[in-house]
């Protein structure tokens, strides 16, 4: 069983339309659609905007459906100068940029006892990059792919100062409002995850109007990638956890 989350209706609509639907259940105010996509069993949920909604949704899906991995797909604001609307960023790491314990000498985004940068599952990142190639290689004027840090916070960014700060403080490629909350929840529960973001805007002064104008096209790009990714992830071998105490092999 796979779990797929998007924040807004547009971010889940294309997958929802193509699902062979089994049943829909409502938990924590979230509709969870259980179904099959290309033969792969999954649950699909629209979590709503922001980190709190995303964390609630991820925890609820993990508790109730025990997914072997979780994919978040949606749109983001690009932070690097040459990025174009429609390009895709696969998060190698996610960070909660508005977690601020600097008053206690910690770095922005850092929580006690946790890594500041929350790493996406490397096998899922690799599979998502391969899925991008399968979806877009040879496509004229197709999107570009970038792998890098995605910075999440409860703010729609549309100013140069925040944009530059996110680039410089976190080496972030894109900003959005859910990814790190999903990443945090998944890492606490040992559930492999990946965040995939199409760029709807470049987080500058025109971001909100660019977002509205580009949302549908960018969600299409994300779906084209998901279409190739889900069948692969659905059949990835399950990682069997080995008990280090049970092995006789010793390092030199």
**Catalytic positions, written as ranges:** 11, 201
Distance in angstroms (rounded) separating the CA atoms of residues 39 and 27? 25
**46 lines the binding site for ligand ADE (CB under 6 A):** no
The answer to whether 176 and 144 are in contact (CB under 8 A) is no
Of the candidates 186, 203, 229, 230, which one interacts with ligand ADE according to CB under 6 A?
A: 203
Residue 103 backbone dihedrals phi, psi, to 5 degrees: -60, -20
Name the residue nearer to ligand ADE (CB basis): 45 or 157. Answer: 157
End-to-end distance of the chain based on CA atoms, in angstroms? 39
Of the candidates 53, 96, 185, 200, which one interacts with ligand ADE according to CB under 6 A?
A: 200
The answer to whether 53 and 246 are in contact (CB under 8 A) is no
| Residue 216: CB minimum distance to ligand ADE, A | 13
Name the residue nearer to ligand ADE (CB basis): 12 or 32. Answer: 12
CA dihedral 197, 199, 200, 201 (to 10 degrees): 140
Residues with Cβ within 8 Å of 102's Cβ and at least 6 positions away in sequence, in order, are 108
Chain residues 154-173 in contact with ligand ADE, contact rule CB under 6 A: 156-158
SS3 at position 134: helix
Instruction: Tell me the residue nearest to ligand ADE as measured from the CB.
Output: 77
> Vertex 242, ends 240 and 247: CA angle to 5°?
145
Say how many residues touch ligand ADE, by CB under 6 A.
Answer: 14
The answer to whether 72 and 179 are in contact (CB under 8 A) is yes
Distance in angstroms (rounded) separating the CA atoms of residues 176 and 72? 12
Name the residue nearer to ligand ADE (CB basis): 128 or 222. Answer: 222
**Site string (210-239) toward ligand ADE, x via CB under 6 A:** -x----------------------------
Of the candidates 177, 195, 225, 229, which one interacts with ligand ADE according to CB under 6 A?
A: 177
| Residue 233: CB minimum distance to ligand ADE, A | 24
The answer to whether 51 and 181 are in contact (CB under 8 A) is yes
| Residue 171: CB minimum distance to ligand ADE, A | 17
**Site string (67-96) toward ligand ADE, x via CB under 6 A:** --------xxx-------------------
Of the candidates 91, 176, 229, 234, which one interacts with ligand ADE according to CB under 6 A?
A: 176
């Amino acid at each position: 069983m796979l779990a797929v989350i998007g924040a807004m209706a547009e971010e889940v609509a294309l997958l929802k339309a193509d699902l062979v639907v089994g049943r829909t259940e409502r938990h924590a105010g979230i509709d969870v659609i259980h179904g099959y996509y290309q033969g792969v069993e999954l649950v699909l949920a629209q979590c709503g905007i922001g980190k709190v909604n995303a964390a609630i949704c991820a925890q609820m899906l993990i508790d109730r459906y025990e997914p072997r991995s979780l994919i978040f797909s949606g749109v983001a604001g690009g932070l690097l100068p040459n990025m174009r609307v429609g390009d895709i960023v696969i998060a190698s790491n996610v960070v909660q940029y508005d977690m601020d314990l600097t008053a206690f000498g910690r770095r922005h985004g850092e929580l006690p006892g946790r890594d500041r940068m929350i790493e996406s599952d490397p096998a899922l990142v690799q599979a998502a990059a391969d899925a991008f190639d399968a979806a877009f290689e040879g496509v004229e004027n197709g999107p570009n792919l970038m792998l890098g840090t995605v910075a999440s916070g409860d703010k729609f960014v549309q100013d140069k100062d925040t944009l530059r700060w996110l680039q410089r403080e976190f080496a972030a490629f894109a900003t959005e409002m859910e990814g790190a909350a999903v990443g945090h929840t998944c890492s606490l529960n040992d559930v492999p995850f990946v965040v995939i973001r199409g760029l709807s805007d470049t987080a500058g002064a025109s971001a909100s109007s660019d977002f509205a104008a580009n949302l549908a096209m960018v969600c299409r790009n994300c779906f084209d990638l998901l279409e190739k990714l889900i069948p692969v992830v659905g059949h990835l071998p399950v990682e069997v956890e080995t008990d280090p105490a049970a092995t006789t092999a010793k390092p030199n």
